[in-house]
Amino acid sequence: MKRILTLLVFLTACTAQATPFPSPKPTETPARIVPTPRYDVPTQGQVAVTNEATKRATSTPTVEAKQVTATPNLDAWMSLPVRPEAGLNIREIYERGIALGNDPNAFSIFGDCQAEPQEFLGVYDTDESLVESLPPELQETAAHFAGSFNRESSTAQDGTTPGALLWDQWHRGEYGCSFGETPVDCELRVHRPSFVIIQIGSHFESRNTEYLRRVIDQLLAQGVVPILATKADNRELDHRVNRDMALLADEFDLPLWNFWAAVSNLPDRGLYVMKGRELQGAIYLTDEAKIIHRETGLDALNIVWRAVGQP
């Protein structure tokens, strides 16, 4: 008897694509509580008033004590620095990965169209004069990871979302991948990265963070150091994608590259509406923003790489 798969539509930062959400295995249980705020209830502090207090209010002016729940500062991530801070746990993750066979000279990118080589870091493999213009420390980083910058992969494609990273059909059997393995499985097998930059676009489905958590757990189990990143746009209108990324970085004690802050002073945050994709809004990076994107991205990789004990 054939199983019927229901296709759900991913809301992506680059193109609309029909993609089924991955379903957790029957035995799979969450390792931790998803650290995202509730978007379906008010976040204001709640006042608890007893029945006794209600009765007294009708007869006497006695003031009852009130229990107030403090409102969390959900926008605290906006003031975080652009450059990531690597915790002491990063070295342990990295060394475990090296023992498992990860390549110390390889990193990968999990993202959408704006993470593809020609839009992001590819020039560090193809433009020798640009690399020579970098500060010596960044030249060393570019040389160390040569071959990873301009590499196409199943995890950095137009339309990729956290759910797509866990769908075993997303790679279409390309990039050296086999059907039955997810893009994450494939990338870890084929490239064996020691670091992964995760910068997923404007996908704000309610299970977005659940999928990210599964991806992060898999990377950590394989000794791969995740570098989480915010994005420039606010297509979801309430910043939940960046907010949740920052919450995950805090919970897992992982470095966060706050790209959102890097383009804060640009006109329109360095975003524009692409012709032919007007319905997606201003989510594409201008040339000026792309330069900042690749420079701060390389800097983030450099910081985390050196935090594991490199020169």
User: Rounded to two decimals, what is the model's pTM?
Assistant: 0.79
Tokens representing 268? 């329109």
> What 3-state DSSP class applies to 250?
helix
**Residue 70 contacts residue 157 (beta carbons within 8 Å):** no
Give 120-150 pLDDT, tens digit per residue.
999 999 999 999 999 999 999 999 999 999 9
CATH architecture assignment, domain 76-307: 3-Layer(aba) Sandwich (3.40)
The predicted model gives 164-168 an average pLDDT of 94
pLDDT at 75 exceeding the cut of 70? yes
**Residue spans of beta strands (DSSP E) within 209-273:** 225-229, 256-257, 271-273
Give 275-290 pLDDT, tens digit per residue.
998 888 888 999 999 9
pLDDT at 223 exceeding the cut of 70? yes
The predicted model gives 41-47 an average pLDDT of 38
Backbone angles phi, psi at 285, to 5 degrees: -80, 135
Q: Report residue 95 CA to chain centroid gap.
A: 23
- Per-residue pLDDT band for 298 (boundaries 50, 70, 90) equals very high
The predicted model gives 61-88 an average pLDDT of 73
Express as a percent the part of the chain with pLDDT over 90: 65
For residue 202, the model assigns a pLDDT of 60
pLDDT at 224 exceeding the cut of 60? yes
For residue 89, the model assigns a pLDDT of 95
Beta bridge partners of 271: 285
For residue 310, the model assigns a pLDDT of 66
Residue with tokens 């499985």: 185
Q: Report the alpha-carbon distance of residue 279 to residue 176 in Å, rounded.
A: 34
